[in-house]
Amino acid sequence: MTATPAQSGATANAPLEKIALESYVPPAKPSLVGLSRSELADLLGEIGVVSAQRKMRVQQLWHWTYVRGAPQFADMTSISREMRKQLEQHFTVARPEVAAEQISSDGTRKWLLRLPSGDKLERAHEVECVYIPETDRGTLCVSSQVGCTLNCSFCHTGTQRLVRNLTAGEIVGQIMVARDRLNDWADRDTPNGGRLITNVVMMGMGEPLYNFEAVRDALLIVSDNEGIGISRRRITLSTSGVVPNIVRTGEEIGVMLAVSLHAVRDELRDELVPLNRKYPIAELLQACRDYPGCSNARRITFEYVMLKGVNDSLEDAKLLVKLLKGIPAKINLIPFNPWPGTRYECSDWEQIEKFSEYIFNAGYSSPVRTPRGRDILAACGQLKSESEKLSVRERQALRAMAMTD
């Protein structure tokens, strides 16, 4: 389905980036979740902990918070009672609140997480976080913004306003909530005896590279081997192409990179991913070639949503292979997840297979991502928080589309 002239014009006139409506207001008693060791040490100094004890106290807090998942200071039994009382007076180790949980027929779980604000006049905001269990891994899809900076025309999340960026603590907190709900901390027994959350993908609500510092600080905590301990090779950051921050991601975070490409011609990508008008395909791919550590062992993933009659021709597949020449890459083909009001349709399965076969024969891994959690609006491109609620009719329509695919 191709866009009408009126639709294309509307896309062309849409702003490339949204402006955040609000900024974060910390609560009177802040959470220590998301702070670096040096930041923790500074705060301990502010409440009177002598310098000779700070390193030990930081290590204790770090272990109890990120290895054992203690939800309150009272549980941190290796810390003196007096110290615990002092911490309780000034801080918390609170995570976001679970406002709702949904479990898909395929085992996918989606949590709607409420983020308290220090502004009493402001209602709490919400984001979504999704857990996808598979036979060999468990992937947690994490959000970086309330809403999204961008206006990608095929993405349901992109239809939201940008309310604000998440803090490092709110990003790390999503992983901690998921571990709480799955009983997945190091000192607890899981159903299969191993960790349930093995992989993290920054592919939830928002554009991570428009919230670079908070995402960086959060992922450094997530990958810390004395804490949450998820390997950087098991963390993937997905971007729509914020070119200036791509190399920074490799240098300062060192995680795997995924790029939401979705088109092989600038004129079409300008419509699907309007950010392309600022950072066109050639500039984006050069940033990928320059990505630190990129190799056959650390390939860049290119995400490509399959839109019927829009970007799914054999000519598109041929040009995709040509464009990616010389970049260690794999290509994830994503069947489009429909949502009420969209003008796009998912490509026919036969066409997806032809597209995949051509790419595979050209030497690229080209898995077709199996849609997960469509019945609970948890599939790729469907996340939309309760900050902008769907109507009952929209939800019924989307579930009907999911069930008939």
Radius of gyration of the chain (CA): 22
Out of 46, 353, 380, 388, the active site residue is: 380
* Nearest alpha carbon to residue 59 among 79, 45, 73: 79
Task: For residue 177, give the 3-state DSSP assignment.
Answer: helix
- Is residue 122 flagged as an active site residue? no
Report d(CA 202, CA 20) in Å as an integer. Answer: 19
CB 84 within 8 A of CB 74: yes
Residue entry with tokens 């180790």: 93
Fill in the DSSP letter of residue 4: P
Out of 126, 128, 207, 271, the active site residue is: 128
Q: Say how many Å lie between the first and final Cα of the chain, rounded.
A: 17
Q: What CA–CA distances, in Å, run from 217 to 36, 75, 221, 263, 270?
A: 8, 26, 7, 31, 31
- Is residue 128 flagged as an active site residue? yes
Pairing of strands 125-133, 109-115: antiparallel
Report d(CA 174, CA 142) in Å as an integer. Answer: 7
Report d(CA 294, CA 256) in Å as an integer. Answer: 9
220, two tokens:
């450094």
* Nearest alpha carbon to residue 359 among 237, 261, 243, 224: 261
Listing DSSP states for 348-401 in one string gives PHHHHHHHHHHHHHTT-B-PBPPP--GGGT-STT----GGGPPPHHHHHHHHHH
* Nearest alpha carbon to residue 145 among 55, 18, 12, 313: 18
Report d(CA 243, CA 10) in Å as an integer. Answer: 25
Report d(CA 377, CA 399) in Å as an integer. Answer: 8
Report d(CA 134, CA 367) in Å as an integer. Answer: 15
- List Cβ neighbours of 275 (8 Å cut-off, separation of 6 or more): 16, 17, 150, 240, 241, 242
The residues assigned a catalytic role are: 128, 380
